[in-house]
């Protein structure tokens, strides 16, 4: 092993002859401890903070500088991360809209919503009017029953009320066929065959002519419009011509396979013409009592007169009814009437109010179609 010539040694050795002495290189700095190192960025992007010893100045080695550089780079990347996202995972968040953005959207949506609302409202209104008109022009057969042991078997009574001079021949023919198909034992016409003012009585003539071809006795009581009309006397002439029995505060006995009953016609209470005491005068104490009348104002008089069952009209069922509410208005100025359609009981007496065939005032019916009613009365109904 040869020795190096003088002057070629490492720093710190003997100086070369004739040469200047080179200053000694500082010794390598010791690596900074973990406590002295700058905080590093972990893979999750969260800084770890080291505790400094008191009085000690932080010293950074070259590796510390690289670590600081990585930290700054990581921080820069983290600062560029999209909102709602952190390193390693993302969170689905919604960037809140600025006031300016909201103000730009609102004017575009508001007219569309308003237009859609108006279209829906118009469509519903048109559909309602179409339905209300249809219910006026189309009649159906309604059936109800009343149980009693005072009759031997079933009695079938078809009730026509509030015809109001319906001017449509086709609808009148339909009404006659509904009555015929119900196979009645008797036909009861409970008032307001005509209006207060009538241009002609041809519709009534057409109805009575059709009913005369049905094998069942026909009975009639006046309504308020019949009393108020200048055609009242002419109406009675038509009724007599077509063999209809008019009952004005009087009674008659009717018999058949169903047994025997007292049929009582009470004039209209609404117009102040009725007298139930006169109507029941001379009746036997026993036996089924059936009342024909026009308006439900008689209701409070029925039980004391020992009436079993009474049928009337007048109210038109309110003409316009609402689900869960019932009639809104009915003739006589009654708003939301308590008695408007269907069966009502007072003591031993039952009153059935029929909504009828025709209309007065607005030519509309809603949830209250024009109807003929078949009353099935007997022990097994």
The predicted-structure confidence for 254-278, as pLDDT tens digits, reads as follows 999 999 999 999 999 999 999 999 9
Q: What is each CA distance from 184 to 127, 153, 291, 342, 372, in whole angstroms?
A: 36, 14, 17, 20, 12
Which whole-number Å values give the CA distances from 104 to 97, 98, 166, in the listed order?
A: 11, 10, 59
- Residue 319's CB is within 10 A of a number of other CB atoms, namely 28
Q: What is the pTM of this model?
A: 0.70
pLDDT confidence bin for 114, thresholds 50/70/90:
confident
Q: Which residue has tokens 């409970």?
A: 190
322-334 average pLDDT score: 82
Please name the residue that has the structure tokens 């109210």. 315
Return d(Cα 192, Cα 222) in angstroms, integer: 7
Using pLDDT thresholds of 50, 70 and 90, give the confidence band for residue 18.
Answer: very low
Q: Say which residue, 100 or 365, is predicted with more confidence.
A: 365
What distance in Å separates the CA atoms of residue 61 and residue 67, rounded to the nearest whole number?
A: 10
Residues 283-298: tens digit of each pLDDT: 998 999 999 999 999 9
Nearest to 226 by CA among 206, 198, 266: 198
Q: Which of 53-62, 228-237, 356-365 has the highest mean pLDDT?
A: 228-237
Q: Which domains are delineated in the chain? A: 138-378 (3.60.21.10)
């Amino acid at each position: 092993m040869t020795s190096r010539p003088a002057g070629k040694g490492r720093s710190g050795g003997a100086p070369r002859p004739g040469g200047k002495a080179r200053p000694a290189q500082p010794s390598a700095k010791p690596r900074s401890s973990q406590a002295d190192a700058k905080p590093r960025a972990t893979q999750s992007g969260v800084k770890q903070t080291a505790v400094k010893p008191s009085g000690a100045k932080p010293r950074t080695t070259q590796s510390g500088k690289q670590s600081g550089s990585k930290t700054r780079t990581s921080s820069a990347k983290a600062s560029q991360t999209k909102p709602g996202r952190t390193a390693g995972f993302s969170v689905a968040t919604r960037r809140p809209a600025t006031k300016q953005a909201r103000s730009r959207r609102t004017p575009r949506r508001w007219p569309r919503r308003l237009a859609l609302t108006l279209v829906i409202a118009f469509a519903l209104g048109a559909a309602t009017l179409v339905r209300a008109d249809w219910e006026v022009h189309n009649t159906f057969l309604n059936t109800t029953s009343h149980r009693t042991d005072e009759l031997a078997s079933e009695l079938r009574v078809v009730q026509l009320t509030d015809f109001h001079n319906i001017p449509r021949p086709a609808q009148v023919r339909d009404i006659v066929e509904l009555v015929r198909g119900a196979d009645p034992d008797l036909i009861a016409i409970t008032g307001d065959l005509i209006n207060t003012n009538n241009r002609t009585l041809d519709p009534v003539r057409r109805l009575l002519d059709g009913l005369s071809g049905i094998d069942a006795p026909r009975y009639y009581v006046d309504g308020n419009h019949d009393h108020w009309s200048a055609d009242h006397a002419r109406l009675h002439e038509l009724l007599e011509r077509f063999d209809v029995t008019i009952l004005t505060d009087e009674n008659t006995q009717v018999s058949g396979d169903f047994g025997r009953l007292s049929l009582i016609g009470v004039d209209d209470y609404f117009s102040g013409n009725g007298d139930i005491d006169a109507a029941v005068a001379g009746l036997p104490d026993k036996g089924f009592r059936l009342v024909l009348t026009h308006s439900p104002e008689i209701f409070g008089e029925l039980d004391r007169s020992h009436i079993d069952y009474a049928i009337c009209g007048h109210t038109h069922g309110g003409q316009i009814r609402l689900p869960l509410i019932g009639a809104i208005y009915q003739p006589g100025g009654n708003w939301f009437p308590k008695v408007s359609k269907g069966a009502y009981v007072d003591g031993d007496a039952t009153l059935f109010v029929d909504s009828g065939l025709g209309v007065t005032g607005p030519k509309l019916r809603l949830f209250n179609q024009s109807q003929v009613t078949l009353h099935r009365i007997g022990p097994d109904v």
